[in-house]
Structure 1
Amino acid sequence: MKIVIMMVFLGLIGYLLEQRRHIKFLEKVNFTQQTRHIMEKHEVYLLKHQIDTYVFSLETLGYSQESINKGDYTRHEPSPEQLQKILEEFQRNQSIYRSKNIQFETELELRGIE
């Protein structure tokens, strides 16, 4: 009887140790997935920012994205007021971009990723 009780006890200890190992593995997988999602989200943001930068470049040169999409490649010289407005909006977006980039780098540092 003592042998059966001892075997059941050892079996339970082994089961608990295996469950503990499995929990650590699942936590590691979850951490990795969360990090990957953060990086994907930031990459999408970077692509949107790059597209916006190209649009600002086109507008500065006198082209319109909507007209280019329609097949019209004529150039319209922007007025100094329009250029000033484009520059202000571009600087505002650059400021937002820098703050989001700092936030992303901080998140990665907190997660222990270089």
Structure 2
Amino acid sequence: MMKWLVVIIFIAMLGYLFEQRRHIKFLKQVNFNQETRHIMTDHEIFLLKHQIGTYVYSLETLGYSQDKMNRGDYTRHEPSQEKLQALQEELQRNQSIYRSKNIQFETELELRGVE
């Protein structure tokens, strides 16, 4: 009788260990998915900020100021050549940052196995 009790306890412990391993694997997958979702969310936020920056650049190139427009002043002021050149340089710098962040994002997803 004692042998049967030991065998039953041993089998129960094996079952418990296998269930714990399955649960650990499940939790690792959940964690991986959450990290991937955070990476994608952060990239979406970056894209939106870049898009807003591009709109602001377009407004300033056309002679409008975002700050003045927020206050209700929609008057157009012709930007100087220096201002246009500074805006162009800033846009090129931002485009370079955008491209490198995009490559970094795609590489990170590729390393994670996400298509």
Note whether the superposition's TM-score is higher than 0.5. Answer: yes
The match for 2:77 is 76
- Alignment pair present for 1:63 and 2:64: yes
Task: Report matched runs for 1:1-114 at 5 Å.
Answer: 1-114=2-115
For 2:27, what is the secondary structure of its paired residue? Answer: helix
Q: Give the CA deviation at 1:91.
A: 0.3
Computed over aligned residues only, the root mean square deviation of the Cα atoms, in angstroms, reads 0.4
Deviating above 3 A after TM superposition, structure 1's stretches of 4 or more consecutive aligned residues are none
One-letter amino acid of the counterpart of residue 51, structure 2: Q
For 1:103, what is the secondary structure of its paired residue? Answer: helix
Equivalenced residue count is 114
Structure 2 Cα separation of the partners of residues 33 and 81 of structure 1 = 46
One-letter amino acid of the counterpart of residue 70, structure 2: N
Deviation readout 1:25-73 (Å, 9 max, x if unpaired): 0000000000000000000010000000000000000000010001000
One-letter amino acid of the counterpart of residue 79, structure 1: S
Gaps of 5+ in 1: none
One-letter amino acid of the counterpart of residue 55, structure 1: V
Structure 2 Cα separation of the partners of residues 97 and 91 of structure 1 = 10
For 1:14, what is the secondary structure of its paired residue? Answer: helix
% identical aligned pairs: 72
Q: Give the CA deviation at 1:80.
A: 1.2
Structure 2 Cα separation of the partners of residues 81 and 27 of structure 1 = 54
